[in-house]
Amino acid sequence: MSNAVKISPSIMSADLAYLARDLHAVRNADYIHIDVIDGQFAPNLTYGVPVVAACKRATDVPLDVHLMIDNPDDHADWFVDAGADLITFHIEAARHAHRLLAHLHDRGVKAGVVLNPATPVCMLESIIEDVDVVMLMSVNPGFGGQSFIEGTYAKLNQLVALCREHDVHPLIELDGGVSVSNAAEVAAAGADLLVAGSAVFGAADPHRAVAELRALAESGLSKAGA
């Protein structure tokens, strides 16, 4: 857990016909979030290696690649080679999570795991000391524009407690339904890397939307620490 909140706009809500333009608009972001969905692990089919590589060419903002795929053990290297700076994969899909985390670190990228809404935090007990990031899904994976699952607040509290128990400080990433209406609350609960799609790319001024989300989140973080 860090002392500042980071924002990762999701290109799922960008206009792919003008992707370079949209990436330039959010050059004040901390990461660019890319959801790789294979149509098997989650009910959608999105982007592959060429889009990750295109984003790498189009922006200097680090790439946050979220693998929603059945076989991350076999394919994570493709996305490292394409330019990912951070790779997260689902604990529900990985055959050997510890081995994959170590391999990604050996490849020189940050690595983390993702929990679906119905997956308990206790699944991280044996690997919490090996992750750079833990992402909690606050919607069910597959599609953008879903409503935030309110039970995520309790899960954030559980994850923060687990990190304190092990004296580790991974980034806690939250993906799904993040907006100006809840950015302060989720940051106060422990999230410090917020994925936002429609809240950013659906705004009239995406650059300003990133700044507003960050300011709101950091205000919530400050209040929580007061």
SS3 track for the chain:
CCCCCEEEEEHHHCCHHHHHHHHHHCCCCCCEEEEEEECCCCCCECCCHHHHHHHHHHCCCCEEEEEECCCHHHHHHHHHHHCCCEEEEECCCCCCHHHHHHHHHHCCCEEEEEECCCCCHHHHCCCHHHCCEEEEECCCCCCCCCCCCCCHHHHHHHHHHHHHHHCCCCEEEEECCCCCCCHHHHHHCCCCEEEECHHHHCCCCHHHHHHHHHHHHHHHHHHHHC
Q: Which residues are catalytic?
A: 35, 175
